[in-house]
Structure 1
Amino acid sequence: MSDETLDLYLQQGMYGPLETKPDERHLFLGSLRERVLLALTKGQVLRSKPYHEAEQAFKRNKHISLLINGELQYQSYSPYVKMANRNGVPFKVVSDLQFHTPLGLIIAADSAVNHESIYIQDDIFNRSVLKS
């Protein structure tokens, strides 16, 4: 076994297997861009009225999950959890203290869907750091 192979083996033993696209996974709360159906910024999740597009995504798609940024307070995302529960969609609160993302909520498929537009580009989105 070469030194390089041995080092890789030891690194994976200590820190876990290598992860594909780590920066993308940090941005999208552990998911990949190709799986995202809808992404809301933290500010959009804080909006008093939940987005209708989220309800549509829950109703129209199977084999999806709801990923929620753990930095948010429960009362801000509880309407989305209730929507997910009504539609039989599992959810997970993602807390990663090392990395911060401007996204507050992701609705992601179990496999690649490659949706071209995943953001609701309203006034709240336009004030976010994601604005291009």
Structure 2
Amino acid sequence: MSKKNVDDYLQEGMYGTRLPNESERKMYLGTFRERVAFVLTIGEVMSNKGLAELERQLKQHPKAKILLNGNISYSFLKEEKALADRFSIPHTTVSNQENDTEIGLVLTYPYAVDIDQISLKDIEEKPAPKEKEDEEEKNSNPSKGIVSKLKNFFH
């Protein structure tokens, strides 16, 4: 560690101590990107576009908590809060007028989870693994399609 000089002490006194990844914290309502499981933008929250996916994510991550952007009116957050209450997920409204972010809702953990696709847009674009396997099976042997469906039906 390097020794602090007078300038460092003056900077801390005037502006406070520096936080690591401060821009990342501002964007994700006070948490780190590596802790985020799912996010919705302000537009998605206000239009209730991601409610079905949010419900699926809450089922998948029962130990997470929700951070809500305090710059969004309560009437737009009502559905999200009701979902969180139904799954007993704690939620907190983060009101920081100084930070401007497009994120409206963050599903987060207190530790790193490193999930790659966290936005609604990324999740909707990703094909489901089961559908991909079904397509490959149909394309590989089209005459076997009906027989394999009957086998799957009886298993």
Superposition TM-score tier, normalisation by shorter sequence:
0.7 to 0.9
SS at match of 1:23: helix
> 1:35 and 1:3 mapped to 2: Cα distance?
32
Contact 1:64 1:89 in 2 (8 A): yes
User: How many residues were matched structurally?
Assistant: 121
TM-score (norm 2): 0.68
> What residue in structure 2 maps to residue 83 of structure 1?
83
Q: Any residues of structure 2 matched to 1:1-132 within 5 Å, and which?
A: 4-5=4-5, 8=8, 12=12, 17-48=17-48, 50-121=50-121
Q: Highest relative contact order (Cα 8 Å, sep 6+), 1 or 2?
A: 1
Displacement after TM superposition at 1:63 (Å): 2.6
Displacement after TM superposition at 1:4 (Å): 2.8
Displacement after TM superposition at 1:41 (Å): 0.7
TM-score (norm 1): 0.78
Structure 2's unaligned 5+ residue stretches are: 123-155
> 1:114 and 1:29 mapped to 2: Cα distance?
17
SS at match of 2:120: coil
Flag the 1:106–1:5 CA change in 2: closer, same or farther, 3 A.
same
- Greater fraction of residues in helix: 2
SS at match of 2:37: strand
CA RMSD of aligned residues (A): 2.4
Structure 1 moving runs of 4+ over 6 Å? none
Structure 1's unaligned 5+ residue stretches are: 123-132
